[in-house]
Amino acid sequence: MDRYDLNGKVALVTGAARGIGFETARQTHLRGASVAVLDLSAEEAREAAERIGSRAIGIGADVTDQNAMFAAVAEVVEKLGGLDIAVANAGIAQKQFATARGLSGEEWERVFEVDLLGVWRTVRAALPQIVERKGQMVVVSSVYAFANGMGNSPYAVAKAGVEMLGRSLRVELAPHGASASVAYFGWVDTRLVRDAMDQESSGRIKELSPEWLLKRITPDEAGAGLVRGIEERAPRIFVPKWWRYVSAFRGLINPLLDRRMESDAKTAALIRDMDAESVDAGNG
Amino acid sequence: MAGKVRHVFGCTFLGMARYDLNGKVALVTGAARGIGFETARQMHLRGASVAVLDLDAGEAREAAERIGPRAFGVGADVTDEGGMLAAVAAIVDRFGGLDVAVANAGIAPPTVTTARTMPAEEWKRVVDVNLIGAWHTARAALPQASERGGQIVFIGSIYSIANGLLASPYAVSKAGVEALGRALRAELAPLGASASVVYFGWVETDLVRDSLDRKDDGRGARILGEIVPGFLLKRITAETAGATIVRALEERAPRRFAPPVWRYISAFRGLLNPLLDRRMDHDAGIAAVVSEVEAAAGQRRA
């Protein structure tokens, strides 16, 4: 496929006031696109848009609110003349690592609501434009789409769903000349990851994983990988790239890793502690 | 084949002792018919007390009567967390506890079409029932099941693995259910409890017959015939599906596949899916099918 030229295109990025979303918007803008920076807080979105440059606008909207997302896309079309690329990036994590049993039901469903249904509502709002302009829908999944979600289940459940949504969409959009991509990031040095990793139980999760697995990449690298993926209309975008190989062998590796996790004494101790912390927090 | 003969398919997991269903209490959601009914019936045959849960209390009670004396019908909506908590409380009240929950209740999208043209409320409803419903079932059963070294069974699907085109909410929910089951299994291990994911291909149930054979003069079946090789479309009976779940429980298996060929497809999914997905992107037959269903969806809306 020919290189997809971002120059002159219009892109919408959700969760773009900071982190991966901001970097994606900034780098898309650098390549000549107009960008809509969408975030929960209109003010933060506008501030981010100002930092990005002249062809950036800020929009405040909650991705879990379908009507707000339709209104946001309408605003993009009105102000920037259309919409070619939507990057469904907005996501949250639970406040700290906790088992599904220990987490409050509301918190579990809130993560799911933002991370999966928020992506779905972004997709629904953006697709009419994207199909009309043979554009691209990028959904941000995670290596948690295939890694075991122990201690982080709503995130893993949502990201597995997001991956499937992106794969299905790609086939369904092909006849229209439009496309969808799934982006998988490992640990990126964002506020989401820092907040989660600063918890005590997270420190222990780190102990359970080899260091190379936990090496964080910068939002800058994540955004660059994403933009490259858009230029190539890549079906899958992995940053760091070596996750591609883990994904390729997931069907063989996962049963082995899952089994090891089940019989590992350190993991068991960590799970007991996470549950104890949840009881302290009043969720157990 | 249920009941008398004890097959030892595959290996016993990690040398764990066989989980004896005799005397246990089990909850099966969506159990008024199909896979759920068969699972409840076969567990009952092995000596378990079973709670037959379904949306309609009358149908649940009827099914429980057909199953036998240690079966109890409960009406509840899996999408209603309060309703599920109340259902589990009623089961504990009746049978003195709960060891096993089979989160089986599931629906298919009423319309076979693209994510773009499916009515939004239909898309969301499928995810609510299949994924959030499984979550509520697990959540309601966990206090009892984890205390008693019990088990939660999740119903995955070949759609947890294969591309979900024209059935995206179903595939999205089944991919999520798989992730939930795997995470829970790891989290329950220190408590001596476990979770399993059982993956089915096409099972002869109302869900499959309605969405493939009956609706729109069998358009679903015809479309699948164009997308999927024939040997993967062979349907198994609900009885076989139920037996697979019972076997998974007895072995505390992390995963079970019926038909078994899907075990190999799952093992190589990371390599196969990118190739198959790409082929689908470029397939003229699929493009024609997508156009056809989108045109039909447009007419329905008009």
pLDDT digits over B74-98, tens only? Answer: 999 999 999 999 999 999 999 999 9
pLDDT value at B210 more than 70: yes
**Cβ distance of B270 and A109 shorter than 8 Å:** no
Give residues 201 to 240 of B whose Cβ lies within 8 Å of A.
none
pLDDT tier at A31 (50, 70, 90 boundaries)? very high
Confidence at residue A282, expressed as pLDDT on a 0 to 100 scale:
67
Q: Does B231 map to a domain?
A: yes
pLDDT of A105-117, one tens digit each? 999 999 999 999 9
Mean pLDDT of chain A: 93
Q: How many helices (H) and strands (E) does chain A have?
A: 13, 7
How many domains is chain A partitioned into structurally?
A: 1
Q: Are A61 and A111 in contact (CB under 8 A)?
A: no
Q: What is the widest separation between alpha-carbon atoms in chain B?
A: 60
Confirm whether A228 is domain-assigned: yes
Residue B220 inside a domain? The answer is yes
Q: Are residues A154 and A103 in contact, defined by beta-carbon separation less than 8 angstroms?
A: yes
pLDDT of residue A201: 64
Q: Which of B185, B282, B291 sits opposite A262 (nearest CB)?
A: B185
From chain A, pick out residues whose CB is under 8 angstroms from the CB of B114. Answer: 172
Select, from the ranges A95-104, B76-85, B277-286, the one with the highest average predicted confidence (pLDDT): B76-85
Q: Which of B163, B184, B270 sits opposite A251 (nearest CB)?
A: B270
CATH number of the domain that A87 lies in? 3.40.50.720
Domain that residue B177 falls in = 17-261
The 3-state DSSP class for residue B104 equals coil
Considering all CA atoms of chain A, what is the largest pairwise distance in Å, rounded to the nearest integer? 58
Residues of B in contact with A116 (CB under 8 A): 127, 172, 176
Could you tell me if residue A4 is inside a domain? no
In a domain, B244, yes or no: yes
Give me the pLDDT at residue B11, please. Answer: 39
Six token digits for residue A155: 């995130």
Q: What pLDDT score does B206 carry?
A: 84
Average pLDDT score, chain B:
91
B3 pLDDT more than 50: no
- Is there a contact between A164 and B146 if contact means CB atoms under 8 Å apart? no
Domain membership flag for residue B300: no
Percent helix / strand / coil, chain A, rounded to 5: 55, 15, 30
Q: Which residues are CB-contacts of B131 (< 8 A; sequence separation ≥ 6)?
A: A157, A161, B172, B173, B176, B177, B180
Q: What is the pLDDT of residues A126-146, one digit of tens each?
A: 999 999 999 999 999 999 999
* Cis geometry, peptide bond prior to residue A255 (ω within 30 degrees of 0): no
**Is the pLDDT confidence value at B13 over 70?**
no
Q: Please check whether residue A28 lies inside any domain of the structure.
A: yes
Rounded Cα–Cα distance for residues A225 and A231 (Å): 10
Q: Is the CB of A100 inside 8 Å of chain B's CB atoms?
A: yes
What pTM value is reported for the model?
0.94
Q: How many domains does chain B have?
A: 1
**Band of residue B105 on the pLDDT scale cut at 50, 70, 90:** very high
Percent of chain B, pLDDT > 70?
95
The CATH number that applies at residue B44 is: 3.40.50.720
Q: Confirm whether the ipTM is greater than 0.85.
A: yes
**Percent of chain A topping pLDDT 90:** 82
What pLDDT band is residue B1 in, cutting at 50, 70 and 90?
A: very low
A153 lies in which domain range?
10-280
A5 CB-contact burial (10 Å; exposed 0-12 / middle 13-18 / buried 19+): exposed
Domain-located, residue A2 = no
Q: Residue A191 corresponds to which tokens in the numbers above?
A: 């506020």
Q: What b/e string do you get for B208-241 counting C-beta neighbours within 10 Å, with b at 16 or more?
A: bbebbeebeeebbbebbeebeeeebeebbebbbb
Residue A270 has pLDDT above 50, yes or no: yes
Please check whether residue B274 lies inside any domain of the structure: no
